Structure formats: structure tokens, C-alpha cells
Chain A
């Protein structure tokens, strides 16, 4: 295979619930070689595991069908390969669904499935959680265990020549590192070049966050045409340097500031950003403006990859019950606070850690930080944990009962009960998660 001069990779989704349209525009007008859809947050896979337990044909991304139906004709027409972790807890079933869509649309497709991240069967419960220092079984009933696979697990899938590569849990940047290794023949043991690829993956994986979306602040950081916010693509050269840009007609902006914010996003140690592929040093990265909405990224260096893989463990953590009610006008804060006190008195014996928040006043920042003035309206929120859904429902019921039992003028009650899936992590030997590739084909 002749090595390409540069590779263009777009990122069409930055989380499971992301908008569909930007990926379509990238596939249509982005002149891409690869499209990546990153759709797995920490907890997404545990929730998917629950759906799979109810129906063995489920457990992949809930938006997979809509995304693939929109994208498949464009991927084929423009010869773009798709790499996505939309397989979630059931990548094999996801591939089956993709084949079904291809049949319906009369389009030939080859799908490669990466499996091996699901290590639930090998979990004993005695493994020590990094977060608690205790055995994971003590956190609650374990319902999922997924290892973060690396680029090495995706490479054999790319080598099959598949149009679509679908995975479960893999490290987000590895979704980008793998096609670069595949195209440029990089060595997985060359820590510096893999680190450069990892920087690119990290910059791209949250899609609209780098094009100004989550960056925007109309007062200090205005961004153009937010409603048509485009998602990014990266032009990558064989030396690992890259330019991040987007389709011209789309909204948003890519500036030094948007790229800096994204480079540091969720990084707990900029000297050692750990993935299954490498320990990347982000402090050696350089950024340069290279025209409007174009940022050139150079530098980035790395050290040997960790000897262990991170495994994300999902466990049952009971239920939460919540109730909300709003007070407005004169004395709104005082009436909301009285309501909160009444609920506390009624429920404190049953819910010792019951929480009351005053939305519009001090609900997300403590009062020591807030520029506290008398708010015109305040929404009381009460939340507590319970072992069962029935118990959790009591909290919303008590809030609703403030309608007739007072104080005066409360309105707009909403009540919620949610099951809680907690997440802790363990480290396992790399050999414990053996990946493999399954190919599914449809010839029209």
C-alpha cells in the first residue's frame, strides 16, 4: 500500500447523546479519510450492560441505528472508513444492526467488530478499587467490567479492510491513534510518535468542545454561529504534526484558546497522560494559529505505555429520589428555605444524608463564593439516597405535598427516581484482556 501524504480524520460525535448533523456534514463535505464517533462515557457502558441483561440483542448505543442510517450512504460514496465505540456493551449485536441497515439501504458493507474489553467473567470481586482502596464487591453488586483497550486492538480490524470498525470500550484517543498507525506504519513501540497521535486523539475526542461549543461565553469568549456548530477534523502528517480545522460553512471557531482548553480537559497530570498506548507528555506540545479556524499542533512526546490496563467497574449503588419546587416574588428565598426545613424535619430520620439545594441561589457554588443577593425566584431541590425505588419515591412525594401543606406560592413540582450505577476502577495485567476481531459482511 502506498503511504498517503496526509490523513484527514473527523470527529463526528463527542458523547453518546451528541447531535447527529455535524457528523453528516463532515461525511458529506469534509473530504475525510476516517470518521470517528466517540460515544462512550465512563458510565455509558454500565447502563448499556443493563439493557443487554434485559434483551441480549441490545446493549449498543441507543442512537446507533439513526447515526448509521444517515451516514452509511455518505461513507460509501465518499470512501470514508468509520471507527466508533458505539458497540458499548454489545459490539457484536451492533454489527448485526449495521448489516441490517445496509440490507435495507441496499449498500454493501464490511464491518469489523473488536471484542475482548468485557472482562466481567474474570472478575472475582476481591480486586481492589483504586478509588476506595477496598475490594470492589464492597462497593455493591458488580454489573460490568470493561478494560480500556488500545490502538493495538483496533489495528487488526483496520487490516481486514472493513468499512466500519465497531468497538466496545477502548481508550478514546486510541480511536484516532489506530488509523494513524495503520496508515503511516508507525511503530507502537515508538513512544514519541504514539504520544503525538494521542495528543491529536485527545484534542479531537470531544468533538464540539474544540470548535468553540463548550468554550463559548457571549461576554468574554463569543463564538460565531453556535446553532450550526461544526465538529472538527485533523489533517495529520506522517511526522505526527497536525492541523485542526472544520468544514468552512459550519459554525463555531477553532482558536488557540479553544484548543488550549481542550488540551487540558480532564488531564490529571499533563506530564503523564496515560492511555493503553503510551504515557504522553502534553507539556511539550506547541500550538500555532495557521489561518482562520486552523490551529497547527506540533511537539508532544511520550514514554513507555503502562504495563497494566485500566478496567472500569460498574456496580449497583441503590437509588436516588429527588423533588423540586419553585418559589418566586417577595420573600422567595425565605419561603423556599422554610420548605426545605420542613422537608428535612419530616424525612431526616429516614434519610440521614438528605440534601437541600436552592437553585438560583447557592445550589452549585457554596455561598462563600457566590455574590449572594436576594434572588427573585428560587427552586428548592431535595435529594436523597435509598436502597429501593419505592423508598426513593418518598422524597418526591413529600416535596409534592408542599402544594397544599405550604408554605405559600410554591409551584412547578417535579419528582424523580433514578437507579444509580456507580463506577470504580481497577488495574489488571494486559494479558487479562485479550482482544479479537470478528468480520461481518453484506454484499448487495
Chain B
């Protein structure tokens, strides 16, 4: 079964210079492991191939059941001088949540 990330998780985008920071938090903490398994840094890189040009580091925060993606070279040169509409990349949290997940078959 395929679902959108939006169905099971929420996200907020943050910025530091040319770095985009995306949290990913499941509504149900039971889904944390699923997200750890399915939403890898590589998968996020592929999803954002037109946006993120640098490395993506994924941090796991099991205490609060959340993931954090720190994405380099992602904000068109940086918040203060870029010509794009959304210079901070604030709307990109919802771009992450557009990702489709193939859920493993359950019996």
C-alpha cells in the first residue's frame, strides 16, 4: 500500500544561511520506526533532487520519536540574497510531506 507522508507525520522547515532543516515527526509514536526505515537521507535527497544540491544528514531523536534532516546547499544561495519567492524555504516542510511511502505488507 502506498501512502503520502502527510498522512502519518508532520514537519517544520527551518533555515540557517543556505542550509535547510526539516523535522519529521510521526503523529503516532509507534510509526517512528517505520519512518526511520523508510525515510532515509538518500530517499529525501532523491525527492528533493531539484532543490537540495548538497549533502543531507539525518539525525534520529528516539527520546521524542522524531527525525531531523539537515540539508546543505538547499536555499538558492542563502536566505538573505536569493531571488526565490520563499527565501527561507518555509513551505518546503509540506514538500517533504508529499513523499510517497510504500508500506510493508502486514499480515
A: number of interface residues (CB 8 Å): 51
- The distance from the CB of A242 to the nearest CB of chain B, in whole angstroms, is 15
Instruction: Report whether B6 and A220 are in contact in the complex, using a CB–CB cutoff of 8 Å.
Output: yes
Asked whether any CB of chain B lies closer than 8 Å to the CB of A364, the reply is: yes
Q: Which of A109-117, A168-176, A352-360, A433-441 contacts B (4 or more CB under 8 A)?
A: A352-360
* B1-38 interface with A by 8 A CB criterion: 6, 10, 12, 14-19, 21, 23, 25, 27
**In whole angstroms, how far apart are the Cα atoms of A262 and B15 in the complex?**
13
Q: Which of A217, A353, A423 contacts B83 (CB 8 A)?
A: A353
Q: How far is the CA of A263 from the CA of B61 in the complex (A)?
A: 11
Contact of A270 with B59 in the complex, beta carbons under 8 Å? yes
B95 at the binding interface (Cβ < 8 Å): yes
> CB-nearest residue of chain A relative to B10?
A221
Is A214's beta carbon under 8 Å from chain B? yes
A364:B16 contact, CB within 8 angstroms: no
Q: Name the contact of B12 in the complex, choosing from A43, A214, A256, A421 (C-beta under 8 A).
A: A214
Given contacts A266-B16, A366-B50, contact A43 B25 (CB under 8 A): no
Contact B66 A355 (CB under 8 A): no
Question: Contact at A261–B12, with CB atoms within 8 Å?
Answer: yes
Least distance between B7 CB and chain A CB atoms (Å): 8
Cα separation A366 to B79 with both chains bound (whole Å): 18
A316 CB, nearest partner CB in chain B, Å:
11
Is B17 in contact with A260, judged by CB distance below 8 angstroms?
A: no
Residues of A within 8 A of B63 (CB): 283-286, 299
Looking at the assembled complex, report how far the CB atom of A166 sits from the nearest CB atom of chain B, in whole angstroms: 25
Minimal Cβ-Cβ distance residue in A for B69: A264
B10, B79, B80: the one contacting A257 at CB < 8 Å is B10
Known: A131-B18, A268-B19, A269-B59. A42 touches B80 (CB 8 A): yes
Interface string of A298-333 (1 = CB under 8 A from B): 010000000000000000010010000000000000
Q: Is B43 on the interface with A (CB-CB < 8 A)?
A: no
A317: B residues at CB distance < 8 A: 80-81
Residue of A nearest to B78 (CB): A131
Whether A364 lies near B85 (C-beta < 8 A) is: yes
| Given A221-B10, A320-B83, A368-B50, A131 and B66 contact (CB-CB distance below 8 Å) | no
Q: Determine the interface band of chain B, counting residues with CB < 8 A from chain A.
A: 35 or more
**Neighbouring A residues of B61 by C-beta, 8 Å:** 264, 270, 282-283
B95 touches A365 (CB 8 A): yes
Contact A383 B47 (CB under 8 A): no
In the complex, how many residue pairs between chain A and chain B have their CB atoms under 8 Å apart?
113
* Cα A44 to Cα B86 with chains together (Å): 18
Given A261-B23, A266-B21, answer yes or no on A383-B16 (Cβ-Cβ < 8 Å).
Answer: no
User: How distant is B28 from chain A, measured CB to nearest CB, in Å?
Assistant: 11
Contact A357 B85 (CB under 8 A): yes
Structural contact, A265 and B91, CB atoms closer than 8 A: no
Within 64-92 of B, Cβ neighbours of A (below 8 Å) are at 64-66, 68, 70, 78-81, 83-86, 91-92
Interchain CB contact under 8 A, B91 and A263: no
* Distance A221 CA – B18 CA, assembled complex (angstroms): 29
CB neighbours of A119 from chain B (8 A): none
CA distance A286 to B83 in the complex (A): 40
**A271 close to B (CB within 8 Å):** yes
Cβ–Cβ contact B64 & A285, under 8 A: yes
A14 to B84 alpha-carbon distance, docked (Å): 24
| Measured CA separation A326–B44 after assembly (Å) | 33
Known: A270-B68, A285-B64. A383 touches B83 (CB 8 A): yes
**Beyond A422-B81, A423-B78, 12 extra complex contacts between A and B, CB < 8 Å:** A214-B12, A256-B64, A264-B21, A265-B21, A266-B15, A283-B61, A285-B64, A299-B63, A353-B83, A364-B84, A381-B85, A420-B80
